[in-house]
Structure 1
Amino acid sequence: MPSAGLAPRRVVQLSALLAMFALYAAQLVSASLPYVPVFVAASAAGIALDTYLQYKQPGLLSLLAKVRFDVTVRQLLRDMLILVGLLRIDGIEPMGEQAPLLFALLAVYVLHFGCQAAAVLVRRTRTLPILTRNIDASALRLSAAPPRILARRSSHRMLAFSIPATAGLLLTAATTHAFWGGIGIGLSIVLFGGGMLYLATWLLPKKRALNEAKVMAWLDNWLAEYEPTVAMYFSGGTTSAYQANMWLSTLADADGKPLIVLRERFMVNKIDATDVPIICFPKVASMFSLENSTLKMMLHPANAAKTSQVLRIPTVKHAFINHGESDKLSSCNPYAKAYDEVWVAGPAARDRYQLADVGVEDKDVVEVGRPQLSPIKVASGPAGGDFTTVLYAPTWEGWDGNPGNTSVILAGENIVRHLLADDRVRLIYKPHPMTGSQVPAAGAANERIMAMIREANTRRSGPRPGPEAAAELARRAEALDKLTSTSFRTSADEMEKMLLQGRPDGGRAAAVAEATAAWEEAYWASFPEWEHRIVTEARPAIFGCFNQADVLVSDVSSVVSDWLASEKPYAVANTSGLTEAEFRTGFPTVGAATILAPDADGVPGLLAAVRGESDDVYAEARLELKEHLLGPSDPPSIDRFNAAVRALCARADERRVRMAARGDAEIPAQREDSVEEQVAQAQAAEAAPESEDAVNA
């Protein structure tokens, strides 16, 4: 499936590439003859094609740039061929009319490079050593960004500003009057020169941000004023932000002054709506400002290559909270022993670490429950109504590609086929967003499953909600989008976004939660109860799907552990090759589940139990497993979480007291030397190539 999807794009790219070289060849041949109509047409078509590709096929042009055939070279070649044509056309004096045009065209390129140099200088001055969100950083002299075509899109600028010169030269070729070439080149000179001068105004003190030393001094002052105590540290790729987002509400409710610490610049705007201050430290050296702050502890929802860098800070205690718990090996990663404590939901995870024997001592494991599961509604009895809603939420294939990781490849189509065969089933299919990223067969099976569901919907009919339901959904979506998104200009850069996001509205997170709940209610009400749904967008979230479903079908993953909070029936697909007894023994989270073989023949029996048509033999086991996995309901999870926060902060305080008591006489000059050494070591590690996924859980 992926190769078939890529084929049309490759055909288009190859056709465009052949057309580009054909136009250059036509320019050369028609300029040599000369044959003015073809010469003018080929030259005009060449720059038009190049401009089109800039917007529609940037990937192709990136490949050309890698072989040094970038936009400047292409435009220079195009202009050179036009000058060759002018030399050959009768009626144009090479030394009388063309020489001034040649020198003027050279001036265009000089100004182009001058404009590019100014753009580089402006970008450097606007690249701060840190990025912030929900923090008033106006003292850093933040300003709006220059137009994108001037500051960041050199290829677009080169083509757009060269069009007058090229058009003027082609008119000269058609009419033999150098006047037109002079006018066109003059306009290009004005555009490039004016753009360079306009960019230079961002280098003046009024628009120029503070230098790195002053920025870091400002940060130290802000940290001293805010006095953070607990932070969430996160580093990851573009698709991993959900791992941090699931902890935002819990962090906001944590005892103390919360803070979010990020490492990748792009991640600043990947974090969902929150009132918690956010600081991004792209370079490890700047991150050591935290050592001299009041910060006492950090929470880590994921392992990453850059995690080792923050563990160097001795004044801060670290707790691994994970982004989900399951029976997979990733839920007891040996990297966890690097943290001061490992916070887990319940006794099951504690047992998992001890059985895995990966170096995590039992005294360092703290049970805190799963505070973010509070939105999940608890079951109220067997499924009623005309339709039984089944949520099929398989996980992805994992980094190792083990066929037992996901049911999509071996069992997914069979599961869906059995579910669709029951006229009383409404299916919600929510695949993992990374499905198919490692194993193409998983992506292909996922596409076939979605095709099956769409085809099944065509065979169903019934009453639909009226137009007012769609209008209500649109209204709720608009209200939610206003709260969750910031309207940035297309030219906005990091500094401008810092300026716009610098003053958080109090209670914004609560307003977003309320608007999200209203949107989800409108979303489900906008579809008929008999219609199957495919959910691949971020909204509705998985917990919203939980509350709609009567039963879950999934794989061994954190989805199963979270689902148990609902106390509803669930099934787990066994594609591991193990017997059912071995599967239950090896994966405790499936102990209260209906086990589905790859042929999924157990689906009808599962549905009968959900509807109360047969005994729900796992009802009592689910309650026991819920407490074993998630811990007791009393005290509430958030209370246990905050108790753990206070305890670890107290350990950090105790260490600081001990270190202060020992004094400089016992460990002379250690603090000053250690910080310098840490920064030097961290910078060396940062310069070395590292794989983000090397230790990622």
Structure 2
Amino acid sequence: MLRQSAADGPATPGWLTVPRLLALTALTAAWVAQRPDDALVWLVAGVLLVATAVEPVLRRLLPVPAAVQLPGWTPPTVAVARFVVPAALVALLVVLVAAAGALTPWVFGVAAVVQGVPLLLATAQALRAYAARPAAAAALGRAVAQVAPEFVLYTARRGGAYQLQMWLPHLEALGRPFLVVTRDPAALAPLAEVTTAPVVACPTWRDLDRVVVPSLRAAFYVNSVAANADFVTYRQLTHVYLGHGESDKALSHHPAHAMYDLVFVAGQAAVERYARHGVQVPADKFVVVGNPQSAAVEPVDTVAGSSDGRPAGAVLYAPTWQGYNDDSSYSSLGHGVQVVRALLELPGPVVFRPHPFSRTRATERGHVAAVEELLAADARATGRAHVYGVDEPFAASANRVVAMVGDLSSVVTEFLASGKPLALVTDGEPDFATRNPVARAAYLVAPDLAELPAVLARMLGDDPLREERVAVRRHYVGAEGDQAFARAVLSLLDAPRGADSRSRHSR
């Protein structure tokens, strides 16, 4: 089934259908009340309401096979469809003016023509495209077969491009042909911005059949959403859970991970995390691959100080997003202004790096904006070169700074590669460090942030946790180096067909 959201935009039939129907009903009711005996009024009102209501049906008739950057395949198009919603909005405006008594009935009928004609033309084209869908799907399958992909990077989340970006450079460096498969056609354009590999949208199971070509050996998953189960049913493939970062968050030990053939983990800490939370995953499913994302983080042994003994370099504030619910919320972003005010008491600039999801959710956008306004004001007043609103890899942000303040998330593990001090804002519970062993490497700050200035002075001063960070990093990402991931993937792709996927790897 095709999913809809406001992100599809008015070029997609069925955009915001319910709000438009409600508005149209209210306006036509007001207009009909003025002329209850006018047959034209009732006719036009019915046409407009029916035309709006059938847009979702038209949406389902539109061509399903979709891909970008796929050589040898030309997608079917329904060019008129992009005018359906704009025409309906113009018709709604006419109804608004008519309901105010500014237009005569015959002008109101123009609204039905404006909305109805593009809809009829688009429906005719969509029906022809629907009839040709089997042929288009077959053509898509042939184009995929010509690419001869060896693996699929799979995502069922429209807004998950940043999660793929964590792994794309390391997969592309292998030099093996692969596909990115999404379940949502609206994700094609965002994904095409982060990779040059073919990106194929497969909203239905039948579409998934087209990408499972003979050359395909494996599928990799960067998150654990429910629609992953659709592709895991293709048992001729080896299914590997990658995740999108090594952390002690609850989503890093989800029971659904047991459905994959292999679970690539950064280090022994991840293996222990599943067991500690009672999640049963057979030991032979785990493959330790290190944390290739941290390879670009530059390690340092010391932090250069200012003339008064305090560090003069920048400090990174990297809060995570607020999660789906209370159980998955680890974010300090709601107190971000207070955190940054404390950082501004230091002599150096601040680097602000919120989670990508925080820029897509209304409440969190407000918190982000408040922090950025504070930094902008300080930059004008002091001339300090704060960094915010910059789209760059995490390693680039980590390499700019001498220390970090953040929340429980995967960036903590990546930052450990730097050897620099870091502070974590906790949930306030006394067993936080027990539940989240990575906290042993960090200076802990209660959520009221009262201790933050003292913590900053401590971690940027004597830094007594320096040696502990080394030990924790070794436990979390092992000592495999940045080539362990490449070796694991190539071993999987080059194994004889029919071999047990769990026996293809040495740990």
Superposition pairs of residues 64-79 of structure 1, within 5 angstroms: 65=21, 69-71=22-24, 74-75=27-28, 78=31
> How many Å apart are 1:292 and its aligned residue?
4.9
Superposition pairs of residues 226-625 of structure 1, within 5 angstroms: 226-236=147-157, 238-254=158-174, 256-271=176-191, 272-379=193-300, 381-384=302-305, 387-402=312-327, 405-408=330-333, 415-422=339-346, 424-434=347-357, 451=370, 454=373, 458=377, 528=383, 530-533=384-387, 535=388, 539-578=391-430, 583-598=432-447, 599-601=449-451, 603-604=453-454, 606-607=456-457, 610=460, 614-625=461-472
Cα distance in 2 for partners of 1:572, 1:203 equals 54
> How many Å apart are 1:602 and its aligned residue?
5.5
Cα distance in 2 for partners of 1:197, 1:437 equals 35
> Which amino acid counterpart does residue 354 of structure 2 have in structure 1?
P
Cα distance in 2 for partners of 1:397, 1:323 equals 16
Cα distance in 2 for partners of 1:270, 1:234 equals 12
Using CA pairs below 8 Å that are at least 6 residues apart, which structure has the higher relative contact order?
A: 1
Cα distance in 1 for partners of 2:19, 2:159 equals 24
For 2:7, the equivalent position in structure 1 comes to none
In the alignment, is residue 202 of structure 1 matched against residue 130 of structure 2?
A: no
| 8 Å contact kept, 2:264–2:287 | yes
User: Relative to structure 1, is the Cα distance of residues 83 and 593 closer, same or farther in structure 2, using a 3 angstrom cutoff?
Assistant: closer
In the alignment, structure 2 segments of 5+ residues that lack a partner are: 1-9, 502-507
Cα distance in 2 for partners of 1:273, 1:589 equals 31
Q: Could you say what secondary structure the match of 1:326 adopts?
A: coil
For 1:20, the equivalent position in structure 2 comes to none
Q: Could you say what secondary structure the match of 1:233 adopts?
A: strand
Cα distance in 2 for partners of 1:620, 1:330 equals 29
Q: Could you say what secondary structure the match of 2:80 adopts?
A: coil
User: Relative to structure 1, is the Cα distance of residues 362 and 222 closer, same or farther in structure 2, using a 3 angstrom cutoff?
Assistant: same
> How many Å apart are 1:538 and its aligned residue?
7.1
User: Relative to structure 1, is the Cα distance of residues 267 and 185 closer, same or farther in structure 2, using a 3 angstrom cutoff?
Assistant: closer
Between 1:375-384 and 1:128-137, the stretch displaced more is: 375-384
Q: Could you say what secondary structure the match of 1:322 adopts?
A: coil
For 2:493, the equivalent position in structure 1 comes to 649
Cα distance in 1 for partners of 2:203, 2:352 equals 38
| 8 Å contact kept, 2:25–2:49 | no
How many residues were matched structurally? 482
In the alignment, is residue 128 of structure 1 matched against residue 63 of structure 2?
A: yes
Cα distance in 2 for partners of 1:609, 1:192 equals 65
Cα distance in 1 for partners of 2:285, 2:93 equals 62
> Which amino acid counterpart does residue 567 of structure 1 have in structure 2?
G
> How many Å apart are 1:393 and its aligned residue?
1.6
> How many Å apart are 1:630 and its aligned residue?
2.2
| 8 Å contact kept, 1:392–1:554 | yes
For 1:51, the equivalent position in structure 2 comes to none
| 8 Å contact kept, 1:252–1:275 | no
> Please, which of 78, 82, 105 is the counterpart of residue 148 of structure 1?
82
User: Relative to structure 1, is the Cα distance of residues 575 and 131 closer, same or farther in structure 2, using a 3 angstrom cutoff?
Assistant: same
> How many Å apart are 1:279 and its aligned residue?
1.3
> How many Å apart are 1:315 and its aligned residue?
0.3
Cα distance in 2 for partners of 1:651, 1:234 equals 25
In the alignment, structure 1 segments of 5+ residues that lack a partner are: 1-53, 85-101, 173-180, 464-527, 658-697
> How many Å apart are 1:299 and its aligned residue?
0.6
Cα distance in 2 for partners of 1:395, 1:425 equals 23
Deviations for 1:638-693, whole angstroms, at most 9, x for unmatched residues? Answer: x3222212333355712599xxxxxxxxxxxxxxxxxxxxxxxxxxxxxxxxxxxx
Q: Could you say what secondary structure the match of 2:180 adopts?
A: strand
Cα distance in 1 for partners of 2:95, 2:396 equals 53
For 1:81, the equivalent position in structure 2 comes to 34
Q: Could you say what secondary structure the match of 1:152 adopts?
A: helix
> How many Å apart are 1:553 and its aligned residue?
0.9
Superposition pairs of residues 11-160 of structure 1, within 5 angstroms: 62-63=18-19, 65=21, 69-71=22-24, 74-75=27-28, 78=31, 81-82=34-35, 123-125=59-61, 127-136=62-71, 138-140=73-75, 142-143=76-77, 145-146=79-80, 148-149=82-83, 151-153=84-86, 155-159=88-92
Cα distance in 1 for partners of 2:495, 2:385 equals 54
| 8 Å contact kept, 1:325–1:557 | yes
Q: Could you say what secondary structure the match of 2:441 adopts?
A: coil
Superposition pairs of residues 153-172 of structure 1, within 5 angstroms: 153=86, 155-159=88-92
Please report the RMSD computed on the Cα atoms of aligned residues, expressed in angstroms: 4.3
In the alignment, is residue 631 of structure 1 matched against residue 478 of structure 2?
A: yes
Cα distance in 1 for partners of 2:53, 2:329 equals 54
Cα distance in 2 for partners of 1:286, 1:59 equals 23
Report sequence identity in percent: 24
Q: Could you say what secondary structure the match of 1:268 adopts?
A: helix
Cα distance in 1 for partners of 2:126, 2:497 equals 45
- Which structure has the greater CA radius of gyration? 1
> How many Å apart are 1:311 and its aligned residue?
1.4
Cα distance in 1 for partners of 2:325, 2:234 equals 32
User: Relative to structure 1, is the Cα distance of residues 163 and 191 closer, same or farther in structure 2, using a 3 angstrom cutoff?
Assistant: farther
> Which amino acid counterpart does residue 133 of structure 2 have in structure 1?
E
> How many Å apart are 1:324 and its aligned residue?
0.9
Deviations for 1:41-68, whole angstroms, at most 9, x for unmatched residues? Answer: xxxxxxxxxxxxx9xxx99994573xxx
User: Relative to structure 1, is the Cα distance of residues 414 and 195 closer, same or farther in structure 2, using a 3 angstrom cutoff?
Assistant: closer
Cα distance in 1 for partners of 2:338, 2:381 equals 26
For 1:214, the equivalent position in structure 2 comes to 135
Deviations for 1:540-574, whole angstroms, at most 9, x for unmatched residues? Answer: 45433222221011122211001112222212233
> Which amino acid counterpart does residue 397 of structure 2 have in structure 1?
C
User: Relative to structure 1, is the Cα distance of residues 154 and 120 closer, same or farther in structure 2, using a 3 angstrom cutoff?
Assistant: farther
Cα distance in 1 for partners of 2:312, 2:373 equals 18
| 8 Å contact kept, 2:88–2:115 | no
| 8 Å contact kept, 2:70–2:144 | no
Larger helix percent? 1
Cα distance in 2 for partners of 1:129, 1:153 equals 22
Cα distance in 1 for partners of 2:85, 2:323 equals 37
Q: Could you say what secondary structure the match of 2:215 adopts?
A: coil
